[in-house]
């Protein structure tokens, strides 16, 4: 399965360093985030993509819709691509990071997911797409999800991907044999 993973464009919460994992919270792209999504669409034109799958959070859906203005592909919203349910929605990222520092892979905050829970959810989503024969698709998601994409495609363990950075609206090509 070959696919492109793309983190959403810059959001207001990125600038404020706040967690957002509630799709009902209307966290949208900044002006820069909109421009990033438009630039991503230009870079994606030559990739022979056949469909787009995106997280249900507003910033990812907005990114996917901007890209799809140019690509005109079937667009599917997939709950399994949602950001990690941190248990800290609307709270500072630093607060979340401090809360899981004692056991980053397994710690759960306020009933949220652990990084390992999120890893398993997103990996299962990728397994399902692969079983359905998905190929040459764009997955618009979140930085934490792109870490899972890399691990899934390259056979890496969850602990190997915890701090890998992925830029906003930058296409990353992944392939799993």
pTM over 0.85: yes
Give the chain's domain count: 1
Helix 115-131 × helix 143-154 angle, to 10°: 60
Asked whether the predicted pLDDT for residue 119 surpasses 80, the reply is yes
Read off the pLDDT band of 155 (50, 70, 90): very high
What would the pLDDT profile of 54-110 be if each residue is shown by its tens digit?
999 999 999 999 999 999 999 999 999 999 999 999 999 999 999 999 999 999 999
Report pLDDT for 163: 87
Where is 31: in which H helix or E strand? helix 31-44
List of residues 6+ apart from 94 with CB closer than 8 A: 17
CATH number at residue 104: 3.40.50.1240
DSSP 8-state symbol, 11: B
Provide φ and ψ at 29, rounded to 5°: -75, 150
Asked whether the predicted pLDDT for residue 177 surpasses 90, the reply is no
Tell which residue, 147, 148, 153, has the closest CA to residue 130. Answer: 153
What would the pLDDT profile of 31-52 be if each residue is shown by its tens digit?
999 999 999 999 999 999 999 9
E strands of 2-154, at which residues?
Answer: 2-7, 51-54, 75-77, 137-141
- CA distances (Å), origin 166, targets 25, 26, 50, 99, 143: 23, 22, 23, 22, 6
Range of the domain at 44: 2-175
Helix (H, G, I), strand (E, B) or coil at 114: coil
What would the pLDDT profile of 129-154 be if each residue is shown by its tens digit?
999 988 999 999 999 999 999 999 99
E strands of the chain, at which residues?
Answer: 2-7, 51-54, 75-77, 137-141, 171-175
Report pLDDT for 12: 94
What would the pLDDT profile of 9-29 be if each residue is shown by its tens digit?
999 999 999 999 999 999 999
């Amino acid at each position: 399965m070959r696919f492109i993973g793309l983190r959403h464009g810059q959001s207001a919460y990125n600038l404020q360093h706040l967690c957002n994992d509630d799709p009902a919270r209307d966290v949208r792209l900044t002006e820069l985030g909109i421009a990033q999504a438009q630039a991503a669409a230009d870079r994606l034109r030559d990739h022979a993509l056949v469909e787009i799958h995106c997280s249900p959070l507003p910033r990812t859906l907005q990114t996917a819709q901007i890209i799809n203005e140019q690509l005109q592909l079937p667009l599917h919203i997939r709950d399994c691509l949602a950001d990690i349910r941190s248990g800290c929605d609307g709270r500072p990222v630093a607060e979340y990071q401090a809360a899981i520092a004692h056991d980053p892979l397994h710690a759960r905050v306020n009933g949220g997911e652990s990084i390992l829970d999120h890893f398993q959810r997103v990996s299962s989503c990728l397994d399902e797409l692969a079983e359905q024969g998905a190929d040459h698709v764009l997955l618009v998601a979140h930085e934490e999800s792109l870490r899972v994409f890399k691990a899934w495609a390259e056979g890496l363990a969850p602990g190997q991907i915890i701090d890998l950075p992925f830029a906003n609206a930058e296409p990353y090509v992944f392939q799993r044999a």
